[in-house]
Chain A
Amino acid sequence: MNLIREIWQSIVRRDPLSTDKGKSELVFLNVWLHIHPAKVKKENLRFKHTFYLGFITFFLFLILLTTGIALMCYYRPFPPQAYQDMKDLQFVVFMGPFLRNMHRWAAHGMVVCVFLHMCRVFYTGSYKKPRQFNWVVGVLLLLLTLGLSFTGYLLPWDQLAYWAITVGTNIGSYAPLIGGQLRELLLGGHSVGEAALLRFYVLHVAVLPSLIILMTIVHFWRVRKDGGLSRPVWKLTPEKAEKLVTIGAPAEAVALSVATASKDKTYGLMEVVTGKPIFETITPEEEADTVFSYPYAFVREAVVLMATVTTIMTMSLFLNAPLEELANPAKTPNPAKAPWYFLGLQELVSHSALLGGVVAPALMVLALIAIPYFDRNPSRRPCDRKWIIWLFTFFVVVNLVLIVVGTFFRGPGWALVPPWVHVVSGAE
């Protein structure tokens, strides 16, 4: 019995729960509890303040990770077999269609939720000091999400996949200076073939997931370090808002107690701490507005997790992921359309590959990254931020309009065709 107890303790690393020490260690030594603050502000838990979009995105990512690993068991990344494996997943593998549907709808959901999450963070002004860098991490996560979506829909090696690789890597080749080499590096050759599929597979199942997991960890860690979720600004009195945006402990707060340095010891720079903490702190008078993370935040997170999984599962029961014909290098489908989230980009490249495919997206990304450094106005109140809100709304609307035009208003030969006109594509 002693041995069993010892083994159990070696795993959980805490004293029995009958002791106070064990109870507190249950909290300290649990990573999920550890990444939460002990107490959270009540209004931050309200659904209407964040819509839980960050959590939904994270849970969708977990669904993608698990279903993706399951799908890997039946997928071979070589041109003819890859497509046969998709057919097997559709018709032969037990629960194959369901898992593939889940992977697809979770992926589409993640693109939507990442974007909405970004909008929420922007409109609440939550990218402002000290959260500027976490906004940048968020932009990188958006790009990684799009990268995973792109590499993902190439893998079935159907017509959509083949022509997406062709067009995608050709857009890359318009990049100044490195364009040609970039395309060859992605394709592993000069034309789209076996080597290209293998490389995109490696990107999709190894390189990009590792990067996105790493960046997610940084993102979460910075949420904590930057002071947790930003408080809805209308909850604050004006002078309180001032204090929160100027961050750090209130000016009149007692400085951190400092132990006197010993003359006998050499101190490394990292050991020296001066000044006030650089994150938002909960002052005693705010204490009344807070609740313990466990169980109040945890229950809500569990509910969101279950709601996310249930929604994706229900969608996967009724909506099947499409699969086009086997890739045919000789015949480009007409019109050849990317998935909806890339149709804005496709609309841009249909005007100019260099300007629309390289320059405009690069400028958009740079502009997004620059927002927190360019917008130095410390106020988070919408009435003080009219210009930047108009600018960002313009960016969102332009993207949505491009996607809508690309999705509904483009017919064969990328001609402008309203959705209510039915085009019978003539066989020429």
Chain B
Amino acid sequence: MNRRAFLSWGTVGLAALCSAVAVSLGAVCRFLVPSVFYEPPQSFKIGNPADFPFGPPAFLADEKIFVFRDRDKGFAVASAVCTHLGCTVAHFQSDQRFHCPCHGSEFGADGSVLHGPAPRPLNWFEVTLARDGQLRVDKDKTVPSSYRLVV
């Protein structure tokens, strides 16, 4: 084997080895990403409109959402997940604000940040009327805070 052959075959071999390592690493990373998620669906029904009272919002613990019902304007659904680091905010009726217990973020009635480290306003989710007359919330679809479903 001469010098030229050694170098060219060596380059080919090295390239093959590097790509094999790269492909294997990629496969390991892909392996760690689940192909199936055994998680609650992002879109779900929360019950009949009549189940929800007027006035203070209903807090649905499992879904981590607040359901607001206004006499004239209708339904709106706000996320209870703080946009800072994901703690569950509480809605205080006294000042009509959302308070996060973890790092003290405060959100106004429309979800806007009033105080604290939260970088974004609270999310509002689309709420629609399903065919069977129940309310359906889709967490994948965020809407402006002015969004209302009039039933």
Residues in chain A within 8 A of chain B (CB atoms): 163, 166-167, 169-171, 184-185, 188-191, 193-195, 329-336, 346, 349-354, 356-357, 412-415, 428
Answer whether A332 and B102 are a contact pair too, CB < 8 Å, given A166-B87, A353-B84.
yes
Residues of B within 8 A of A336 (CB): 87, 101-102
Residues of B within 8 A of A333 (CB): 101
User: CA A280 – CA B127 in complex, angstroms?
Assistant: 73
Say whether B101 contacts A428, CB under 8 Å: no
Q: Which of B14-22, B32-40, B71-79 contacts A (4 or more CB under 8 A)?
A: B32-40
A-B contact count (CB 8 A): 89
User: CA A336 – CA B104 in complex, angstroms?
Assistant: 10
User: CA A190 – CA B139 in complex, angstroms?
Assistant: 12
User: CA A171 – CA B103 in complex, angstroms?
Assistant: 13
Q: Does B144 contact A (CB under 8 A)?
A: no
Say whether B101 contacts A190, CB under 8 Å: no
Say whether B101 contacts A350, CB under 8 Å: no
Say whether A414 contacts B87, CB under 8 Å: no
Among candidates B39, B104, B117, residue contacting A189 with C-beta atoms closer than 8 Å: B39
Say whether A329 contacts B88, CB under 8 Å: yes
User: CA A190 – CA B140 in complex, angstroms?
Assistant: 12
A304 shortest CB reach to chain B, Å: 40
Residues of B within 8 A of A171 (CB): 85
27 contacts between A and B (CB under 8 A): A166-B87, A167-B85, A167-B86, A167-B87, A185-B32, A188-B32, A189-B34, A189-B37, A189-B38, A191-B40, A195-B34, A195-B38, A329-B61, A329-B64, A330-B61, A330-B64, A330-B88, A336-B87, A349-B85, A350-B102, A353-B84, A353-B117, A413-B104, A414-B101, A414-B102, A414-B116, A428-B94
User: CA A354 – CA B33 in complex, angstroms?
Assistant: 25
Residues of A within 8 A of B116 (CB): 350, 414
User: Is chain B's binding surface mostly helix, strand, loop or mixed?
Assistant: loop
Interchain residue pairs A-B with the least CB separation, the first 4: A330-B61, A334-B101, A414-B104, A350-B103
Residue count of chain B within 8 Å CB distance of chain A: 30
User: CA A415 – CA B101 in complex, angstroms?
Assistant: 9
Bits for B111-145, please: 1 = Cβ < 8 Å to A, else 0. 00000110100000000000000000000000000
Q: Does B58 contact A (CB under 8 A)?
A: no
Residue of B nearest to A190 (CB): B39
Q: Does B69 contact A (CB under 8 A)?
A: no
Among candidates B39, B61, B86, B92, residue contacting A166 with C-beta atoms closer than 8 Å: B86
Among candidates B40, B101, B119, residue contacting A332 with C-beta atoms closer than 8 Å: B101
User: CA A333 – CA B29 in complex, angstroms?
Assistant: 35
